[in-house]
């Protein structure tokens, strides 16, 4: 197979995921038919099934792409600042994610609570992409945490991350228990307490 053919294949798959992403965003997963996806991707019906078993599989691909995108954005923003303090770094990332969801409510509504950092990380590991692991190292490498083992730090981190995602969902979309602006101070205070 020629290299250009290989590229064409990649492009087709990419187009499908992109089309699915857009449609899921616009009308929700269940209301989006595979028919619409292929139409928007300018690809034949059968081609879809060349790359994905069914709608769930392309859904996973969309979630992975979106989650990855958000975290990478956060990572890049973090690198531009030069925050010496670990807690500040973590709070920065938490805030970045929350703000992303606030600005992109549709994205939040789409991936609901499927924005799960552990799962994204797992996927990345499988694909031997450790960009995000780097970010985690950047965030958490600190004398603060020296009293915890490596494992323990990671797990604490995960807990914080799940917390941020979960609160974002309930607070931004349903204003429960309160609007996100009122939740943020409590949330950040909580994170500080956890890390100190």
Which parts of this chain interact with a copy of itself (CB under 8 A)?
30, 112-113, 116, 118-119, 121-122, 151-152, 154-156, 158-159, 162-163, 165-167, 170, 174, 176-178, 182-183, 186-187, 190, 193-194, 196
We find the least distance from the C-beta atom of residue 155 to a copy of itself, in angstroms, to be 4
Phi, psi angle pair for 141, to nearest 5°: -70, 110
Q: Which residues of 110-133 are buried (b: 16+ CB within 10 A; e: fewer)?
A: bbeebbbbeebbebbeeeeeeebe
Q: Which of the listed partners (DNA, a copy of itself, none) does 81 bind, with a CB threshold of 5 to 8 Å by partner kind?
A: none
Residue selected from 19, 23, 25, 43 as contacting DNA according to rule CB under 7 A: 43
Of the two residues 83 and 194, which places its CB atom closer to a copy of itself in the complex? 194
Of the two residues 37 and 167, which places its CB atom closer to a copy of itself in the complex? 167
Tally of CB atoms within 10 A around 57: 12
Of the two residues 78 and 160, which places its CB atom closer to a copy of itself in the complex? 160
- In which element (H, E) is residue 158 found? helix 150-168
Of the two residues 26 and 152, which places its CB atom closer to DNA in the complex? 26
Give the C-alpha separation, 81 to 137, whole Å.
16
Could you tell me if 27 and 37 are in contact, meaning their C-beta atoms sit under 8 angstroms apart? no
SS3 assignment, position 77? helix
Of the two residues 25 and 135, which places its CB atom closer to DNA in the complex? 25
Contacting range for DNA; rule: CB under 7 A; set: 53-61, 89-97, 108-116, 167-175: 53-61
Contacting range for DNA; rule: CB under 7 A; set: 18-26, 32-40, 65-73, 160-168: 32-40
Q: List Cα–Cα distances, 104 to 1, 96, 109, 152, in angstroms.
A: 40, 12, 9, 33
Q: Is the peptide bond before 176 cis (omega within 30 degrees of 0)?
A: no
Compute CA 18 distance to the chain's CA centroid, rounded to the nearest angstrom.
16
We find the least distance from the C-beta atom of residue 3 to DNA, in angstroms, to be 10
Contact set with DNA (CB under 7 A): 1-2, 5, 8-9, 12, 31, 33-35, 43-50, 53-55
């Amino acid at each position: 197979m020629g290299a250009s053919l290989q590229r064409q294949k990649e492009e087709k798959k990419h187009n499908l995921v992109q089309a699915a992403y857009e449609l899921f965003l616009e009308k929700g997963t269940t209301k989006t038919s595979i028919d619409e996806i292929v139409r928007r991707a300018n690809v034949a019906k059968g081609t879809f099934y060349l790359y994905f078993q069914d709608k769930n599989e392309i859904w996973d691909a969309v979630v992975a792409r979106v989650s990855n995108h958000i975290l990478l954005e956060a990572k890049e923003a973090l690198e531009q600042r030069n925050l010496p303090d670990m807690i500040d770094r973590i709070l920065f990332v938490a805030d970045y994610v929350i703000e992303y969801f606030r600005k992109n409510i549709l994205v939040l509504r789409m991936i609901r609570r499927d924005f799960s950092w552990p799962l994204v990380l797992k996927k990345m590991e499988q694909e031997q992409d450790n960009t995000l692991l780097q970010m985690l190292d950047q965030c958490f490498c600190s004398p603060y945490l020296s009293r915890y083992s490596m494992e323990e730090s990671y797990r604490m981190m995960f807990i914080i991350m799940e917390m941020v995602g979960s609160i974002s969902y309930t607070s931004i979309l349903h204003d429960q228990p309160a609007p996100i602006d009122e939740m943020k101070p409590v949330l950040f205070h909580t994170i500080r307490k956890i890390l100190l």
